[in-house]
């Protein structure tokens, strides 16, 4: 089995396990959160009532909310963040292994050469998402 196939299987299994873990343990309501005590659950419940997060959507489109989103700088920072993150996902990420093997490296060596790039992306994503929050 080629190393790249093994890499995809391992990372795919880890991603699927993480998804199942989130599905099992991530609460849908503050009242169902096992990591909150009674006081914290009450505070979270009051916050959802205050900003009407838990209210059922009527299904009506509201242009006033679109205008609010356009005026909100955090929305534009999120759009800029997603664009910047996904620019490198196009040509560079998709074709980097082909480019590296074109320099004469073998496939296992090409994967090793890409590891620092992946680490840099991880650091960048974590730092910028923390800054944006």
Q: At what angle do helices 3-25 and 107-132 cross, to 10 degrees?
A: 30
Q: 16-74: per-residue pLDDT in tens? A: 999 999 888 888 778 888 888 999 988 888 888 777 766 566 678 889 989 999 999 99
Give residue 34's pLDDT: 86
Residue 94 scores a pLDDT above 80: no
Tokens 């995809």 belong to which residue? 8
Any idea what DSSP says for residue 28?
S
Task: Give the global pTM.
Answer: 0.40
Query: Is pLDDT at 80 greater than 80 in this prediction?
Result: yes
Number of neighbouring beta carbons within 10 Å of residue 30: 18
Residues 6+ apart with CB under 8 A from 107: 2, 3, 4, 97, 101
Rounded distance between C-alpha atoms, residue 71 and residue 77, angstroms: 12
Higher pLDDT, 129 or 69: 69
Count CA within 13 A, CB hemisphere, residue 50.
6
CB count in 10 Å sphere of residue 100: 19
Instruction: Please indicate whether residue 18 or residue 133 has the higher confidence score (pLDDT).
Output: 18
């Amino acid at each position: 089995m080629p190393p790249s196939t093994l890499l995809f299987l391992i990372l795919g299994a880890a991603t699927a396990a993480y998804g199942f873990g989130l599905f099992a343990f991530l609460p849908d309501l503050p009242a169902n959160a096992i990591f909150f005590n009674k006081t914290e659950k009450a505070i979270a419940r009051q916050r959802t009532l205050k900003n009407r997060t838990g209210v059922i959507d009527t299904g009506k489109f509201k242009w006033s909310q679109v205008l609010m989103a356009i005026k909100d700088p955090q929305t534009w920072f999120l759009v800029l963040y997603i664009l910047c993150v996904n620019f490198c996902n196009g040509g560079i990420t998709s074709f980097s292994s082909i480019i590296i093997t074109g320099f004469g490296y073998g496939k296992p060596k090409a994967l090793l050469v890409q590891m620092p790039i992946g680490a840099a992306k991880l650091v960048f994503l974590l730092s910028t998402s923390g800054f944006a929050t």
